[in-house]
Amino acid sequence: MAGGDHAEDAKLKGLSRIFNSETAKGRANVAKATYAGLGLLILYFSLKPSKK
């Protein structure tokens, strides 16, 4: 990569630096968080005790 992402990182603070939509790394983090959330929901509903 060209290294232009470092200038943008200086302006962003907090979660917007991690989950930005302008860089490939930020978009990948959003995708990972989405997959992790869906996985946790599936795990929760599969392990939840059933009502008798």
Supply the DSSP string of 15-51, one letter for each residue. Answer: HHHHS-SSSHHHHHHHHHHHHHHHHHHHHHHHHSPPP
Q: Half-sphere exposure of residue 44, counting CA atoms within 13 Å on the CB side?
A: 6
The per-residue pLDDT for 25 is 92
Domain spans in the chain, listed from the N-terminal domain onward: 7-47
- Output the pTM of the full model: 0.70
The per-residue pLDDT for 13 is 86
Give residue 52's pLDDT band: very low, low, confident or very high (50, 70, 90). confident
pLDDT tens digits for 10-25? 688 888 888 888 889 9
Q: How far is CA 2 from the centre of its chain?
A: 24
